Structure 1
């Protein structure tokens, strides 16, 4: 039975990033239940990076991740992971307070935001219907190459001798002689510290380990790709409803990716797109742009998982000090991955905080808040 300093359950963006951060300092086992890492959430992302997404308390982690995503260390990646996009957050004329509230929510965070008129917005999006008179423009919004970032974290973890084992769902976790023993696909592994990076399965992993769950709720987000007449233009911005009812962005080839911004409670598992949600996404899209939807070319659904307060859960469990939570990253886990992984490394290895975290109140994300 091989012994590791740290065993990480889950090889999505959470598990891969933390393995990369600590792999040079500890012996690390990375267990993944599926054939390939990132199947349920990471690989189904809408793939944008915008500082306002997730709210004012998540924003510091997103902002702290930007430098790494734009200019990663050369040994990590020869290229960055962000591309220019821009975002326009819009509301109807009968929702006059939403834009003001949005600006007020981020007034103290130093974000680049501009209040736009309908004329300004329509100059960038000519098909915009005139009822959408309220707008806030975020010039710093970017596309993020999710697949490349995830692959880079996995590659860096391998370079640091992390053992990745796929097709290894954990069926049993027990304590023996002060260490964790994990049974996965008939094999038994032993570790000093257990990291719970299991995403939608985080509470299930906690129960297996005899640790009190914190209330991680899996939610389904539906996405659909459509083709329109006229077709989309690739260089246009992400469009987000300030009432939280939709977002869409143009993609290569003249199509749009859109979502009704839904969150349907679910059990952890392989989720399929919901036809009603797909229809709802298209209906809301047609209320925003004066275009004709020609066909649906693709539809999919992914899981996101939130703690009760919708903030990440990062740190040792207060009742089980060798059980480390790295969960609850919701829909912002990819855009915050560099900062959250560096925070986890500092806690796991008892190291000083990384420079990018020095001004952040990291206690907001501590697992001990659920004690």
Structure 2
């Protein structure tokens, strides 16, 4: 019998499994053909520590040292450039304050991103602390830790049943039955469905679609060194990726757990918002896709044992913050399971606890 079964092979499940593998044997169950298939495989892959609610910011800040230094570091410079029209000044000022940006001139903005439109952009602000995350290497490294500590990461292991026995949990899958003393729910958009299967009260996890389009480098520019470009209130963003430009309408449409795909109309509206602020029109979309960002009702992660079933452990509600919070979130989860004091303050731990939602 395992000490822990982790349901979900994205960044939440693999980071939790890696931390918990220091306490006992771990088996990670992933339904898809490979790890990181759903939200983790469709991430914007940005570390922006000022982004999110206070508890999320605390996790992101606490994850910084790991991101910068573990296994040679996972971050490379990117930066963030916020742009706004004259009518968006109030929202621009608010974003500058929240994200700790420094206002820059239009000339400075265009020196960073030459396609910024001088006829529509009235305000710009920047900082260079945003970083790209090597998400694939992080996933693989956490999986390697699990295996190195005697654990297992199984793919094509779709969960079909969960039963609670006197000795622990029995989880039936398309790969067979697995048993463990503790069950970790890191199932992303499916987290409430897993809870219901386990006879545990769900907490209201809702998946929201986020769409993305890959465009050729606009105007033939070399986009490699451009910062991430963002509209106010995160109404759209554009991020360089492998010589192309990823543009998202930053949509947040509530949906159900599924293998998500982009909505053509939503994508077109987002691309139009992007086009308003740049000089180069969108002439071709090379490909598009969507992912599900799953949130608890208060949009803060849910980490720790369920108050009514202590051997059922929540690792859910990562939203769009999964990779940037993973190092600290997984460490907190392991600390809570072991009964070890967390380096995070008690107030932050309480904001992340499942008990807040009961």
Instruction: Provide TM-score, normalisation by structure 2.
Output: 0.95
Q: Secondary structure at the match of 1:272?
A: coil
Does residue 271 of the first structure (1) align with residue 260 of the second (2)?
Answer: yes
Unaligned runs of 5+ in 2: none
Kept in 2, the 8 Å contact 1:273–1:301? The answer is: yes
Alignment equivalent of 1:92, drawn from 75, 85, 90: 85
Report the secondary structure of 1:286's partner residue.
Answer: helix
The C-alpha deviation readout for 1:265-314, integer Å capped at 9, x for no partner, is 22111112221122223212211110133321121111110001110000
CA distance in 1, matches of 2:206, 2:222: 35
The 1:186/1:13 distance shift into structure 2, 3 A limit, reads closer
Q: Deviations over 1:101-137 (max 9, x none)?
A: 224446xxxx5x3122333322322321233222331
1:6 equivalent to 2:4? Answer yes
Residue 69 of structure 1 corresponds to: 67
Counterpart position of 2:114:
126
Distance 1:367 1:55 in 2: 17
Taking the aligned partners of 2:269 and 2:308, their CA distance within structure 1 comes to 44
Tell me: CA distance 1:304–1:287, structure 2 relative to 1, closer, same or farther (3 Å).
Answer: same
CA contact (8 A) 1:224 1:258 kept: yes
CA contact (8 A) 1:230 1:292 kept: no
- 8 A contact 1:229–1:293 mirrored in 2: no
Residue number in structure 2 paired with 1:295: 284
Point out the more displaced range, 220-229 or 90-99.
Answer: 90-99
The Cα of 1:209 is off from its aligned counterpart by: 0.6
**Residue 223 of structure 1: aligned partner:** 212
Measure, in 1, the Cα distance between the counterparts of 2:183 and 2:30: 14
Alignment check: 8 A CA contact 2:80 2:229 kept:
yes
Displacement of 1:186 = 5.8
Whether the 8 Å contact between 1:92 and 1:134 is mirrored in structure 2 is yes
Q: Give the structure-1-normalised TM-score.
A: 0.91
Native 8 Å contact 1:232 1:256 kept in 2:
no
SS where residue 236 of structure 1 aligns?
A: coil
Residue in structure 1 matched with residue 229 of structure 2 by the alignment: 239
State how far apart, in whole Å, the 1-side matches of 2:252 and 2:211 are: 8
Q: What RMSD, in angstroms, separates the aligned Cα atoms of the two structures?
A: 1.7
CA displacement, residues 135-178 of structure 1 (integer Å, 9 cap, x when unaligned)? 33121001111111111111111111112222111111111115
Match of 2:36 in 1: 38
- Distance in 2 (CA, whole Å) between partners of 1:285 and 1:20 is 39
1:182 aligns with 2:162: no
Tell me how far apart the structure 2 counterparts of residues 353 and 182 of structure 1 sit (CA, whole Å).
Answer: 30
Q: Deviations over 1:31-83 (max 9, x none)?
A: 111111111111111111112322444112111111111110xxxx3x21100
> 1:99 and 1:281, CA in 2 relative to 1: closer, same or farther beyond 3 A?
closer
* Deviation sequence 1:346-368 (CA, Å, 0-9, x none): 001112224xx358722111111
Q: Which residue of the other structure, out of 136, 144, 160, is the alignment partner of 2:125?
A: 136
Worse-matched range after superposition: 304-313 or 237-246:
237-246
SS, match of residue 363 in structure 1: helix
Kept in 2, the 8 Å contact 1:318–1:367? The answer is yes
